[in-house]
Chain A
C-alpha cells in the first residue's frame, strides 16, 4: 500500500470522519494530521471503539453494587464471589466478520473475548454463544450457521475453554445480518486482578504473541487506495484465528501474572496496536512511545498506517517494571512466543509512534482515547409501533388441532433441542460442569469452595421490536429467571446490544428505550451491569435487524449441590405454576410459527411481581422442597410443560389443567412473563404453596407427572400427545435443518 500524499476531503470522508470531527482533530493536534494519524483517529473514533452514539445512554445503566469490584471501563467486569475469588466476564459481538467468513469470523470472535478475560489475570473457564440466523430452510443461512458453529467449536475446543451454553434463534430479520455474540467468564484470585494501564516513565513496553500482518485493516480506506499491480494480495485480509497460539498466550500471560513483573497488560483487539497503546497510556495518565521497526511483521512492505491499524489476532501489549524484562522474556520463551520490547512509557502524555526512529505519529493519548466525539443523536418513536401494538389479535383464528400446534412448536428451531449445536462444543473441560447445556442455565462448580455459578444468555428480538422498553426488561428478567430456576441468586450482567443504524432517529429511539428497560430491570433485581458491547449498523439494504439486546447473566449458588434442572424427576410428583397466565398472545412464538405474524404487544412485565416469583422459586430450591424448575418462555405454558417432560435423561408423561378464562391458544401458548413451572414431591406441595402465599405469588396446581402421554385440559380444549411423539418432534426439529 502506498501513502496518499495529501489529506483530501474524500480521504477524510472515506475514513468515516465528519468535517466537525476533523476540526476537532486539528484542534487536538494544533495542526493537520498526516495519513497515519488520520487512520489512527478514524479507528479510535469509530463507533466500535468510541461508543460515540451509545455512550450517553449506557451512562444510565446501574454499574455499582456490593460485590462489584470492577464495572465498565476495563477489558471486562469483575465480581466478588467470596472465598477470596473473583469472576471476570464480558460479552462481545462479531456479527459482521461472521457474515463475511462465518467460520473464521466466529472463531476470532471467541479468541477476542477470551483475551479480554485473561488480560485481567483470570483463567477463562466458560463460554456462552448467543446466536441469531436467518431461517435455516434457506441455504445461505444454513451455510452461515454451520460455519459459525464450526468456527466456535474449532476455536473454543482447541484453546481449551468449554462452551457451556448459549442460544440459537432464527428469524428472517437476521438473514442478511446474523448475530454472533460470545460471552466468556474467568476465575481469578480477588487480589490479583490486572488492569490495562501503563505506568512508570521509562518502563519497557513489550509486544507479545503473533506477528502482525495486513489482517482486517479498515476496508473503507483500502478502497480509496490506488493499487499498483500485484496489490491484489495486499487487500485487507480476513483474520484467521490460531487457537493454539492463543492457548500458549493464556498460559504464558497467567504464568507471568502470577508474579509482579508487570505494571499493566492489554490485548490487541479492534484497532490492535493503536487502541492498546493509547488506551494504556490514557488510563495510566502517562504517554507511550513505540518504534514500529521493532514490531514483528508477517508480511513485507507494510507501512506505519497498516501496522498501526492491523487487527491480526493473538497479540498482547504489556508494560513491565524496568529491570524485570528478562522475567517476561524467559516465560514467553518457554512458551515459544515472540516477546519484543517495542517502546517505553513516557511522562509527556503523548502516544508517539516512530518508524526507525523517525516520528510518524504524535497524538495526545488521552484526547485520542477519552475525548472522542460523543453524540446525543436525535430519537423518534418509530411509526410501525402504533400499527403492531394496535394489531387486533382477536382477528387471528383459534386453531382447531392443538396437538399439531404443540408438536409444530416443539419442532421449531427456536424451541427444538439445541444438541446438534452444543454436542460440537467441549462443555465439560475443567470438571466444573454440574448442569450441562440443555437446562435453563449452565451450572459450574467453583472448585475448592462448594459454591456454584449459573450462567444464562437471553434476549428476544421480536419482543424488543414490538416494544423496545419491555423487550429490554424482558431480556433481563428471563435471564435472571433462568439463573434462579437453576438454584442461583442473580449477581450481575453483561450485555451485547445489537441494533441498526444509530443515525436514524427511530433506531436510536429503540436503543434508548431498550437500555432504559435494561436499567430498570437491573435495578429491580440488583444485578448491576459490569460491561458489555454495542454493535450498531446491523442492517442490510437499509432494513435494520430486530433490535436485539442480549443479556449475559451470572448467578451464585452458595451450595452447588442445590443446582436444579428443568426436567421432571419422578412420576407422581405434583406440577405447580408459580405466577399467573394472562391473555397475552402478542409477539409469541405461536403467532410466528403458526400464523406467521410478528405483531401485537409483547407480554407486560411487572418487575415487582417478577422479583417475587423468582424469590419463591429460589427459596423453595434452597429449602429443598422442589425437584425441578423451568421458566416459561418461548411457546408458553404448554411448551414449557412439554419441555419439563421430554428434555431430561428420563422422559415422563403428565396430565395438566391449564388455568385461564380466555382464548384457548392464549392459555396454551401465550408467553406471559414471570411464570415458572416447578415439580415437587406430593408431600411438599403445602410448603411451596405457603412460600408463594408469603410472597403474594399465585401458585396453581397444574397436574401430576406420570403416564405415557401429555394431556392438556382447559377452557375450550382437551387433548393429549404421546410423550414419545413430543420428544421426537423436539429432538429432531433442529437436526433436520442443520
Chain B
C-alpha cells in the first residue's frame, strides 16, 4: 500500500508528510510532481500545505489546473481516499472536489499556532481511527483559512454530516474564542458527498511526534491504513 504526496510549485509541506509516512508511521510513500499525468500505483493521495503558485490570485486557484489534477479528480471520483491539508484543502475546494471556499482570516493576518479541533464525523477514511467528538491538538499555519459556504449549502453539509472538524476549546466546546480565522460555524475540515475526499486547514503531519508537542496527527495516517486494509480484505 502506497501513499502519493503531490508537489506543486510552491508546495512546502510534502517533506514533512514524507517524513511522517516513512520515519514515524512506516508507510510506503512517493512524491508526485504536478506535471505528471498519472497517479497510478498509489492507494491514497495527499495534497500538502504550502503556497502553490505563490497563492497568487487565490489560494489554490492556479494549482487546480496543474496537469496532474485531472488524474487526481479521476482518482477521487473512483472513490480513492484523498486528503488535503492547508493549501491542499484550498486546492481541493478550488477544484470542486470539496464544497465551499477559504477566505482571508478575519484578523487579516497569517496565524501559526496550536489549535484544538473536535472530530465531528469518524466515517471517513481519514478519521475512522478517531473517537466521535475526540478533540485533537494540531497546529495551523495559514493566512486564508476562513471557511465559507453559501447558507443553503451549509444546511446540506450539516444534514449529510460532511463537516468533519470544528475548532474547539481543549475540552471540546465550540466557541468563538476557539475559532482562529473566523471560519463559518468554526468549520476546520469537511468531506465530499462520497466521504472519500477530506480537507482541513490544520497540519496533522506537524502533530505526529511527542517531541513536537502532540501525536494526535498520527490518527489520520493510522485511519487511512485501516480503511485501505479493510478495503483490500
Question: Residues of A at under 8 Å CB distance from B?
Answer: 150, 153-154, 157-160, 242-245, 247-248, 334-336, 422-431, 433-434, 445, 447, 560-561
Of the candidates A153, A154, A243, A431, the one whose C-beta lies within 8 Å of that of B212 is A431
Q: Is the CB of B15 within 8 A of A430?
A: yes
Please, which residues of chain B bring their CB within 8 A of the CB of A335?
9
Instruction: A433 to B35: give the CA distance in the assembly, Å.
Output: 32
Instruction: A422 to B110: give the CA distance in the assembly, Å.
Output: 10
A111: min CB distance to chain B, Å: 13
Instruction: A434 to B15: give the CA distance in the assembly, Å.
Output: 17
B23: min CB distance to chain A, Å: 8
- 1/0 per residue, CB under 8 A from A, across B44-62: the answer is 0000001101111000000
Q: Is the CB of A244 within 8 A of B205?
A: no
Check A247/B110 contact, CB under 8 A, given A430-B16, A431-B205, A445-B211: no
> Could you list some 16 contacts between A and B, CB below 8 A?
A153-B109, A157-B112, A158-B54, A242-B54, A244-B51, A244-B54, A423-B109, A424-B111, A425-B110, A425-B112, A426-B112, A426-B141, A429-B13, A429-B16, A431-B205, A445-B211
Q: Is the CB of A160 within 8 A of B112?
A: no
Q: Is the CB of B12 within 8 A of A247?
A: yes
Of the candidates B9, B20, B111, the one whose C-beta lies within 8 Å of that of A244 is B9
Please, which residues of chain B bring their CB within 8 A of the CB of A428?
112, 139, 141, 203, 206, 212
Please, which residues of chain A bring their CB within 8 A of the CB of B56?
244
B143 at the interface (CB under 8 A from A): yes
Residue of B nearest to A251 (CB): B9
Check A423/B15 contact, CB under 8 A, given A157-B51, A335-B9, A428-B139: no
* A-B CB contacts (within 8 Å), total count: 82
Check A433/B212 contact, CB under 8 A, given A158-B51, A160-B12, A426-B141: yes
B216: min CB distance to chain A, Å: 14
B2 at the interface (CB under 8 A from A): no
Please, which residues of chain A bring their CB within 8 A of the CB of B111?
423-424
Please, which residues of chain A bring their CB within 8 A of the CB of B16?
429-431
Residue of B nearest to A429 (CB): B12
B209 at the interface (CB under 8 A from A): yes
B77 at the interface (CB under 8 A from A): no
Instruction: A243 to B113: give the CA distance in the assembly, Å.
Output: 22
Instruction: A576 to B78: give the CA distance in the assembly, Å.
Output: 64
B19 at the interface (CB under 8 A from A): yes
Please, which residues of chain B bring their CB within 8 A of the CB of A247?
9-10, 12, 51, 54
Q: Is the CB of A426 within 8 A of B110?
A: yes
Please, which residues of chain B bring their CB within 8 A of the CB of A433?
212
Residue of B nearest to A452 (CB): B211
Q: Is the CB of A434 within 8 A of B212?
A: yes
Question: Residues of B at under 8 Å CB distance from A?
Answer: 9-10, 12-13, 15-16, 19-20, 23, 35, 50-51, 53-56, 109-113, 139, 141, 143, 203, 205-206, 208-209, 211-212
Residue of A nearest to B50 (CB): A160
B46: min CB distance to chain A, Å: 15
Which has the most chain B C-beta neighbours within 10 Å: A153, A247, A422?
Answer: A247
Please, which residues of chain B bring their CB within 8 A of the CB of A434?
211-212
Instruction: A424 to B107: give the CA distance in the assembly, Å.
Output: 11
Check A158/B55 contact, CB under 8 A, given A247-B10, A430-B16: yes
A92: min CB distance to chain B, Å: 22
Of the candidates A336, A429, A430, the one whose C-beta lies within 8 Å of that of B9 is A336
Which has the most chain B C-beta neighbours within 10 Å: A154, A248, A429, A431?
Answer: A431
Instruction: A424 to B110: give the CA distance in the assembly, Å.
Output: 5
A508: min CB distance to chain B, Å: 41
Additional A-B contact list (5), CB under 8 Å, known A150-B109, A157-B141, A445-B211: A154-B110, A247-B54, A248-B9, A334-B35, A430-B16
Please, which residues of chain A bring their CB within 8 A of the CB of B203?
428
Residue of B nearest to A123 (CB): B15
B112: min CB distance to chain A, Å: 5
Residue of A nearest to B35 (CB): A334
Residue of A nearest to B111 (CB): A423
Residue of A nearest to B113 (CB): A423
Please, which residues of chain A bring their CB within 8 A of the CB of B113?
423
Residue of B nearest to A245 (CB): B54
Instruction: A335 to B35: give the CA distance in the assembly, Å.
Output: 10
Instruction: A423 to B112: give the CA distance in the assembly, Å.
Output: 5
Residue of A nearest to B143 (CB): A157
Please, which residues of chain A bring their CB within 8 A of the CB of B206?
428, 431
Q: Is the CB of A561 within 8 A of B9?
A: no
Instruction: A179 to B162: give the CA distance in the assembly, Å.
Output: 49
Q: Is the CB of B112 within 8 A of A243?
A: no
Please, which residues of chain B bring their CB within 8 A of the CB of A334?
35
Please, which residues of chain B bring their CB within 8 A of the CB of A150?
109
Of the candidates A242, A248, A427, A447, the one whose C-beta lies within 8 Å of that of B112 is A427
